[in-house]
Structure 1
Amino acid sequence: MTDIRFDFSDKTAIVTGAASGIGQAVAQELAASGACVIVSDLTAAACRAVVDQITEAGGRARAFAADVSDETAMRALVDFAEADCGGLHLAVNNAGIGGPSLPTGAYPVEDWRRVIDINLNGVFYGMRWQIPAMLRAGGGAIVNMSSILGSVGFAHAAPYVAAKHALLGLTRTAAIEYAPQRVRVNAVGPAFINTPLLSDNLSPEVLAGLAALHPMGRIGTPQEVSALTCFLLSERASFITGSYHLVDGGYTAP
């Protein structure tokens, strides 16, 4: 692991939803840049698979299976980072789900609750315990994974769009509250990205249609999202907080 773009050698990072896609790319880049990364996702086996990839490449990582919609699990995740790695300095609240594609007037209430629990409440539960840990460590940086749908609507995705919009308010509020104490909080808004969430569930024809929505004519990669995320976590972004940064191939430009 020789391509170190940032220096996180004295940092511990938590990445949720890290078993695949954007979360996996972020965990790998943080580790390549020297961080001790806590790889968190729903199942221990999936977490360990990413940890094995990181350690085989010479990085440092630990596995911790957790459901972000469980506040107790989020507290335990932060406790683990402090106990196992000596503190917490960085966090990427990335875990999320899409939910069924249905119009608002027909959306199942239980599916609404599940999407909100994971995509919004899960981020709050993470920050609720990450921020005090970062204060104990003397400061830190958080990136919350929003979406282009944090700034625009999208038919048949009411809870997802609502959660991603609300996530921006949560991010900005925390950024204001903790800026004096050297904790920065930002959000990233990817467009459609080539992750298992898309490739495993959509036909090539649908994927081609999604690609056409972007002026660049393609879907993005997890590594392109990771590059911005890791920059925002780094000291190179030391005067950036409370911001929302798009990685969208021009999707929101028209």
Structure 2
Amino acid sequence: MSSFTLQGSAYITGAGSGIGRAVAHAFVKNGVSQIALGDINEQTAQETADQLKSINKDVNAIAIQVDVANEDSVKASIETATAAFGRIDFAVNNAGINGPLGLASDVSFEDWKKTIDINLSGVWLCQRAEITQMLLQEPVSTRQYRGAIVNVSSMLGINGIWSETPPTAYSACKHGIVGLTKTDANTVASKGIRINAICPGFVSTPILKLALDMGYMDEQIAATPMKRVATPEEVADGIVFLVSPASSFMTGSALVMDG
């Protein structure tokens, strides 16, 4: 992987496992020394914090319990991170769930709404709070940079997928994240805030482990040019790029990493 120097503090949701944990590791390996690790499960977030300290004993990693679907919880988590570090330079909105599988006629409104609340409204709540904080921060560097945000979407935020049990709610959320990213990116670009989305394909994470182990996704994976799933570390590398100076002229983009 290319090496980028990241100077500043970071805030990550869904940091207790999978892509979120891999991003935390990648950030620290690339220079971040202050990092807030948000997760609905504070114990797994703390496990990530402990791992980071084994990489760099000087890293200031704090675990924060956050429910991204709850406005007060999101606000409190941003306030905790800001109180600890003074500012948030890099934010990654990664927390999410699979949601229900099945035709619209088979999915309950309760399951649909829960998926929307976490996967889409959760990203909006986090992004809103991050932008609010970043606008209060003094810009750094000659580019008048205040902060960079990456929203974790999916290849299903770009395309649909054919299946007898389609992830309709999940795909709707991931499409929504791309739209949210593009719209807010336009409004804050002149204020020194960059917002991009990343759209991974199939990734070997706990959220997909059962389906991968049972072979339910073999046909879809075989249809990809690389004929394999990504590692969380590969996706993390893409996110490092999107917050780094190497992508300083990118905003409102949806970077597809689908193999």
TM over 0.5: yes
User: Given the two structures, how large is their TM-score scaled by the length of structure 2?
Assistant: 0.91
Counterpart in the other structure of 2:44: 46
Aligned pair partner of 2:55 in 50, 54, 57: 57
Deviation, 1:4, is 8.6
Query: Following superposition of structure 1 onto structure 2, how do residues 218-233 of structure 1 map, counting pairs within 5 Å?
Result: 218-233=228-243
TM-score for both structures, normalised by structure 1: 0.93
Q: Is the 8 A contact 1:192 1:210 kept in 2?
A: no
Is residue 95 of structure 1 aligned with residue 102 of structure 2? no
Q: CA deviation at 1:203?
A: 3.2
User: What's 2:167 paired with?
Assistant: 157
* Aligned twin of 1:25: 22
* Matched residue, 2:181: 171
How far is 1:198 from its partner? 1.1
Query: What is the SS of the residue equivalent to 1:153?
Result: coil
Alpha-carbon distance in 2 for matches of 1:165, 1:80: 30
1:215 aligns with 2:215: no
Q: Quick one: which amino acid aligns to residue 25 of structure 1?
A: A
Gaps of 5+ in 2: 140-145
- Distance in 1 (CA, whole Å) between partners of 2:48 and 2:93 is 17
1:116 to 2:113 alignment: no
**What is the aligned partner in structure 2 of residue 127 from structure 1?**
127
State the percentage of identical aligned residues: 39
Question: Shift of the alpha carbon at 1:70?
Answer: 0.6
Which residue is equivalent to 2:142? none
Structure 2 partner of 1:191: 201
Question: Which of 6, 11, 18 matches 1:8?
Answer: 6
Task: Measure the CA separation in 2 of the matches of 1:182 and 1:213.
Answer: 40
CA distance in 1, matches of 2:230, 2:211: 17
Residues 169, 4 of structure 1: alpha-carbon distance in 2 compared, 3 angstrom cutoff: closer
Deviations along 1:89-119, one digit per CA (max 9) or x if unpaired, are: 1100001111121111111110000100011
- Name structure 1 gaps, 5 residues minimum: 250-254
User: Is the contact made by 1:186 and 1:244 (CA closer than 8 Å) also made in structure 2?
Assistant: yes
SS in 2 for 1:197: coil
Q: Structure 2 CA distance, aligned partners of 1:5 and 1:224?
A: 13
2:216 paired residue among 191, 206, 212 = 206
CA separation in 2, counterparts of 1:28 and 1:82? 20
Q: CA deviation at 1:235?
A: 1.2
> What is the CA–CA distance in structure 2 between the aligned matches of 1:166 and 1:112, rounded to whole Å?
14
- Equivalent residue letter for 2:175: H
Provide the rounded CA distance (Å) in 1 between the counterparts of 2:148 and 2:205. 25
CA contact (8 A) 1:34 1:60 kept: no
